[in-house]
C-alpha cells in the first residue's frame, strides 16, 4: 500500500503504454538523480548534463510531436512525468525540468513558426539547449500586465531593455521565452520573444538565495539595449499577455501534479518512519493520534489527486478548464504545505534537523502557494469564474 501503485491502478486514464513509460522513467530517476540529492542540495546546483542525458532518453519531449523529436504522447504521459520526477528528492531539480518541458516551451509548439521550432524547441527536446521563462519583474509578479521591460522595433530588429527577477534556470539558460512591452495598452501592449542569452547587453546580475528549492538557480537578469532579430517575435505583436495566460494553464496543472506526488511520497516516507520509530514501548503508528493524522493526510491527497486528474482530463480533451486547474493548484498548494508540516511534526525533534529529508521538503513546499500564480490569484480567478 505504501507506494503509488494503488493510486495508479485505480485510475482509468493510464494505459499499458503509460505504465511502461512510468517504469522506465522511475528507474532512471532513482538510479541517476536520486543518489546525488544531498550532494547537489549542498552545492545548490546541478550539472547541465542532466538535461542532455534526459534528452537522450527521450524524457524531455513526451508530449511534443514526433516530427520535432518528441514522443507524441498525451497529457497522461505528462502526468506520469510529473509524478515520477519528485523521486529525485530535489524540488529545485524537478522545477528546473518542468520549466524546460512544460513552462517555457509549450507556447513555442503552440504558436511558433516552423523555423522557431527548429531553432529553439528541437534542441530543448534533445537537451542541447536550456530554456527559461521570463515574465516576473521586480515590480510585476502576480500582476503580469504590469511588466515594464520594453521591446522597441528598430528596422528588422527589436531592442530589449529592462530586467527580470525570480527566473528559474535563468543563469544557465540558452534562451528565454521573454515577455516585454511593445505598446502602451495595459493588456494589448505586451509581446513574447525567444531571446538568446548570448545577445550582447544581456547579463545575469545575481543568483538569489532562497528558503528552499536550492538545487535550481533563481536569478535577476538585466537587458541593456539588447538587439535581437524580428524573427524572434513569438506569435503576434501585442498578443503576449493572452499567450501567457494560455501558457499558465499547463504550468499550473503540472505544478499541481508534481506537488501532489511529492507530498504523497513524503507521507509514505513518514509512515515508514513512524512504523520504525518507537516511543513508550511501541511504534508511533501504535498511537491512535498518529494513525488519524496519517489517514487525514491520505484522504486530503487523494482529493488533490482526483481534482488534478479531472483538470488534466479536461485539459487533454481541449475543454476549457481554467476553473478546475486553478482549484487544483490552490488546493494542492494548501495541502502540500500542510502535509509537509504535519509530517515534520511526526518526525519529532529529528525532523528539525537538516540531515533529515523532511526538513528539506518542509522548506521546499512553501513555494507552491506563491509560484506560478499565488493562492490569492487562484482565488480571484475562481471567484470571477463563479460570477461573484
d(CA 20, CA 22): 5
SS (H, E, C) 156-208: CEEEEEEEEEEEECCCCCCEEEEEEECCCCCCCCEEEEEEECCCCCEEEEEEC
Question: What local confidence, expressed as pLDDT, does residue 1 receive?
Answer: 54
The C-alpha atoms of residue 182 and residue 174 are separated, in whole angstroms, by 23
Give yes or no for residue 272 having a pLDDT over 60. yes
**What positions carry a catalytic annotation?**
251
- CATH architecture of the domain 5-129 equals Orthogonal Bundle (1.10)
> From the CB of residue 383, how many other CB atoms can be counted at a distance below 10 Å?
11
- Please give the distance of CA 215 from its chain centroid, rounded to a whole number: 14
Report the candidate in 127, 123, 133 with the shortest Cα–Cα distance to residue 234.
133
Name the nearest CA neighbour of 141 among 371, 380, 386, 381: 371
- pTM comes to 0.95
pLDDT tens, position by position, 189-236 = 999 999 999 999 999 999 999 999 999 999 999 999 999 999 999 999
Q: How many Å from the N-terminal Cα to the C-terminal Cα in the chain?
A: 42
Average pLDDT, integer, range 70-77? 97
Arch. (CATH architecture) of 132-238 = Beta Barrel (2.40)
- Cβ–Cβ < 8 Å for 335, 302: no
Asked if pLDDT for residue 139 goes beyond 90, the answer is no
Write out pLDDT tens, residues 24-68.
999 999 999 999 999 999 999 999 999 999 999 999 999 999 999
Domain ranges, ordered by start, for the chain: 5-129, 132-238, 242-385
CA-to-CA dists, residue 162 to 54, 196, 209, 224, angstroms:
33, 15, 22, 7
Measured CA to CA, the distance from residue 33 to residue 335 in angstroms comes to 26
pLDDT of residue 326: 98
Q: List the Cα angle 145/149/154 in 5-degree steps.
A: 120
Q: What CATH number should be reported for the domain whose range is 242-385?
A: 1.20.140.10
The residue with greater pLDDT, 138 or 259, is 259
> Is the predicted pLDDT of residue 119 greater than 80, yes or no?
yes
Task: For residue 62, count other CB atoms closer than 10 A to its CB.
Answer: 23
Average pLDDT, the chain: 96
Per-residue pLDDT reduced to its tens digit, 157-172? 999 999 999 889 999 9
Report how far residue 248's alpha carbon sits from residue 231's, in angstroms, rounded to the nearest whole number.
24
Alpha carbon distance 57, 67 (integer Å): 17
Amino acid at each position: 500500500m505504501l507506494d503509488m501503485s494503488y493510486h495508479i491502478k485505480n485510475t482509468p486514464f493510464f494505459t499499458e503504454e503509460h505504465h511502461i513509460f512510468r517504469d522506465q522513467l522511475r528507474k532512471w530517476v532513482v538510479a541517476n538523480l536520486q543518489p546525488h540529492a544531498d550532494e547537489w542540495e549542498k552545492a545548490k546546483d546541478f550539472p547541465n548534463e542532466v538535461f542532455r542525458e534526459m534528452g537522450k532518453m527521450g524524457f524531455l519531449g513526451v508530449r511534443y510531436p514526433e516530427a520535432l523529436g518528441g514522443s507524441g504522447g498525451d497529457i497522461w504521459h505528462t502526468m506520469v512525468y510529473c509524478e515520477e520526477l519528485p523521486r529525485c528528492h530535489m524540488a529545485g531539480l524537478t522545477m528546473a525540468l518542468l520549466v524546460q518541458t512544460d513552462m517555457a516551451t509549450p507556447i513555442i509548439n503552440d504558436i511558433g513558426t516552423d523555423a522557431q521550432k527548429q531553432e529553439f524547441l528541437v534542441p530543448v527536446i534533445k537537451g542541447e539547449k536550456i530554456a527559461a521563462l521570463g515574465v516576473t519583474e521586480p515590480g510585476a509578479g502576480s500582476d503580469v500586465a504590469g511588466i515594464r521591460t520594453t521591446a522597441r522595433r528598430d528596422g528588422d530588429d527589436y531592442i530589449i531593455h529592462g530586467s527580470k527577477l525570480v527566473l528559474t534556470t535563468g543563469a544557465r539558460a540558452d534562451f528565454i521565452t521573454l515577455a516585454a512591452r511593445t505598446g502602451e495598452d495595459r493588456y494589448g501592449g505586451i509581446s513574447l520573444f525567444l531571446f538568446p542569452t548570448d545577445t550582447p547587453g544581456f547579463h545575469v546580475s545575481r543568483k538569489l538565495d532562497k528558503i528552499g528549492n536550492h538545487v535550481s538557480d533563481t536569478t535577476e537578469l538585466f537587458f541593456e539595449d539588447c538587439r535581437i532579430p524580428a524573427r524572434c517575435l513569438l506569435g503576434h505583436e501585442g498578443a503576449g499577455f493572452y499567450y501567457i495566460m494560455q501558457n499558465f494553464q499547463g504550468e499550473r496543472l503540472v505544478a499541481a501534479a508534481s506537488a501532489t506526488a511529492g507530498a504523497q511520497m513524503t507521507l509514505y516516507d513518514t509512515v515508514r518512519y513512524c512504523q520504525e520509530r518507537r516511543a513508550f514501548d511501541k511504534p508511533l503508528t501504535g498511537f491512535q493520534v498518529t494513525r488519524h493524522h496519517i489517514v487525514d493526510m491520505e484522504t486530503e491527497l487523494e482529493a488533490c489527486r482526483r481534482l488534478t486528474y479531472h483538470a488534466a482530463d479536461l485539459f487533454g480533451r481541449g475543454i476549457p478548464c481554467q476553473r478546475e486547474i486553478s482549484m487544483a493548484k490552490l488546493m494542492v498548494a494548501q495541502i502540500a504545505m500542510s502535509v509537509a508540516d504535519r509530517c515534520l511534526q511526526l518526525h519529532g525533534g529529528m525532523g528539525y534537523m537538516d540531515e533529515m529529508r523532511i526538513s528539506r521538503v518542509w522548506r521546499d513546499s512553501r513555494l507552491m502557494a506563491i509560484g506560478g500564480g499565488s493562492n490569492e490569484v487562484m482565488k480571484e480567478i475562481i471567484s470571477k469564474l463563479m460570477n461573484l
